[in-house]
Amino acid sequence: MSDIRDVVVIGGGPTGLALAIALRQYGVDTTVVDKEPSTKREPRACVIWQRALEVLRDLGCADAFMRRGLPLARTEFHVGGRLAGVQPFALADTAFPRPLAIEQDDIESLLLDRLRLLGPDVQWSTEAVAVRLHDEAADVDLRGPDGRTRTVSCRWVVSCEGSHSLVRKTLGIAFEGRQRVNLQCVQMNAKADWKHPRLDDTNRIFINHGVSLIASPVPRGGTRFFGFRPDPDPLRSTPPEVAEMEELVTMAAGGADVRLTPTSPYWANRSRFQDRVAATLRQGRALLVGDSAHLWAPIGGRGLNTGLRGAHNLGWKLAAVQHGWATDALLDTYGHEQRRTALTVIRHMRRNLLEVPPNRPTLAVLGLLMPVALRSEHAARRGSVFLSDFASGHRDSPLSSGRAFRGGPGAPRPGDRVPDFACSAGTGPHSLHGLLSYQRWSLLLTGAGGSTSALREITERYAMPIGLFRFRRTADATGDLLLVRPDGHVGLRARATDHKALAAYLDRWLVRMG
């Protein structure tokens, strides 16, 4: 039996579901298959940072997530059994000033609800068993719940199936990197009898000799205890028992007695990690997203969030190429940008001293420096921006052109995420993100310079939708143009009168009509 589809997404986890939603919003015929019988029933990942919440807004489901999750206001840091200070999370210039505590089973359920509004359900209990690429298409052999195999032909196949990706292995794409040694993570959802009462809006991080622990509230009650410690027995794979988890929490918290009562349904986990990135994220008609493309230890909660951002990056680009609105070169920028993002995450996580179990000298340094850093508003803001992923951009991407000039040091440079600041446009006061859309590019003209009619004449030559808006943030805003990608990053920044730069940029990436 044979079917023909635009895109086959292998994997119905958060990344695969997010990508399928993005593609269907663009009207791309997308089939999602997964060998499991349903979405995850395990909590797993438990935080969504602010940039990923903006991604979910673009996918049409952020409101549902906010109703289900717990907005986090702060993290308390405890070093060597003493409170070192508090890191506030709240940020300006976004509709989502706080990160959200929400677990992966809820994440997948909400994404699946959104996907079903846009088309067919995931084909569950359906395993991709073979993939073959051709010049203009791909074939995917699928074994269904009845054990029979059928072939689906598609224009594109996307692997969102995890670290053991069939697509990556079939194509012989190297998974570059290595195993993390002497590091394990143990987790448990439980209610705690100890001196730190659970607060719905407060994370706690405990750092002590040879152990670090995150205690985070979860929406259905109780706390996620998430601990890192050395790994003397790498072959031990069983989940931690309550006694082991109590010992770890007691060590991290400075010796105070702790009693844990696991919540229902019971969930505990022990895991080890690898730091790996695929050598390429695209080979012909095949692409890799999420854990199929990159892996690292879950320090900082970056895995799920980076996967969602990768799906957001790829979705509009793949749709534009599939519809014939953009050149094939646009699709190659996904691999360039997402691979650099993954390598940056791995580099930062290896330097993260706040979650990796410290030795005694490191613990002593943290005990001295942490209180000072947490009292600094500048340091606190830098930490919050880093955690939010707002500082993670694509300045070195081929898709980023122009330079930063005028507008002050806070003005976005090519490749940067556009902040969601208040502004005035032709119809009155606006949030800037209210002018943008994931369904098109947006050409923003600041100040009084430039001709909107001349710019509209240029943008209307292209098949890809491009909105045009003149806005003013302050009385002295200068005449610049910012061409903003559908995913909210600046593609081109130029002077408002530089029509040649705009036309040259659009000709490089987009296809003219007729």
Side chain identity at residue 139, one-letter code: D
Q: What span, in angstroms and rounded, lies between the C-alpha atoms of 74 and 441?
A: 35
* Vertex 162 angle, CA 156 and 168, to 5°: 50
CA–CA distances in Å: residue 56 to residues 20, 247, 306, 411, 417: 13, 38, 13, 25, 15
Quote the tokens at residue 205: 């991080």
Determine the pLDDT at residue 26.
98
Structure confidence at residue 410 as a pLDDT band (50, 70, 90): low
Give the mean model confidence (pLDDT) for residues 314-326. 98
Beta partners for residue 151, in sequence order: 2, 141
Query: Do residues 19 and 75 touch, judged by C-beta distance below 8 A?
Result: no
| 177-213 burial: b if 16+ Cβ within 10 Å, else e | beebeebbbbbbbbebebebebeeebbbbbbbeebbb
Structure confidence at residue 3 as a pLDDT band (50, 70, 90): low
Quote the tokens at residue 286: 């095949």
Give the mean model confidence (pLDDT) for residues 500-505. 97
Any idea which of 28-42, 49-63, 465-479 has the lowest mean pLDDT? Answer: 465-479
- What is the pairing mode between strands 441-446 and 466-472? parallel
Q: Is the pLDDT of residue 115 over 50?
A: yes
Structure confidence at residue 476 as a pLDDT band (50, 70, 90): very low
Of residues 440 and 235, which shows the higher confidence score?
440
Structural domains of the chain, ranges and CATH numbers in brackets? 2-46+103-176+276-350 (3.50.50.60), 72-97+181-272+359-374 (3.30.70.2450), 401-509 (3.40.30.120)
SS (H, E, C) 121-152: CCECCCEEEEEEECCCCEEEEEECCCCCEEEE
The strand ranges marked E within 374-431 are 401-402, 422-425, 428-431
- What is the pairing mode between strands 175-179 and 428-431? unpaired
Among candidates 249, 201, 199, 207, which has minimal Cα distance to 374?
207
Determine the pLDDT at residue 409.
47
Decide: helix, strand or coil at residue 410: coil
Structure confidence at residue 119 as a pLDDT band (50, 70, 90): very high
Is 489 buried (19+), middle (13-18) or exposed (0-12) by CB count in 10 A? buried
Give the mean model confidence (pLDDT) for residues 180-202. 94
Determine the pLDDT at residue 255.
83
Determine the pLDDT at residue 256.
78
**Radius of gyration over every alpha carbon of the chain, rounded to an integer in angstroms:** 24
Quote the tokens at residue 165: 């990706």
Structure confidence at residue 147 as a pLDDT band (50, 70, 90): very high
Side chain identity at residue 448, one-letter code: A
Q: What is the pLDDT of residues 73-101, one digit of tens each?
A: 999 999 999 999 999 999 999 999 999 99
Determine the pLDDT at residue 31.
97
Q: Report the 10 Å Cβ neighbour count for 507.
A: 14
Query: Do residues 473 and 421 touch, judged by C-beta distance below 8 A?
Result: yes
Give the mean model confidence (pLDDT) for residues 381-385. 90
Average pLDDT along the chain: 92
Give the mean model confidence (pLDDT) for residues 36-54. 89
The strand ranges marked E within 435-479 are 441-446, 466-472
Side chain identity at residue 166, one-letter code: L
Quote the tokens at residue 49: 């940072």
Q: Is the pLDDT of residue 408 over 70?
A: no
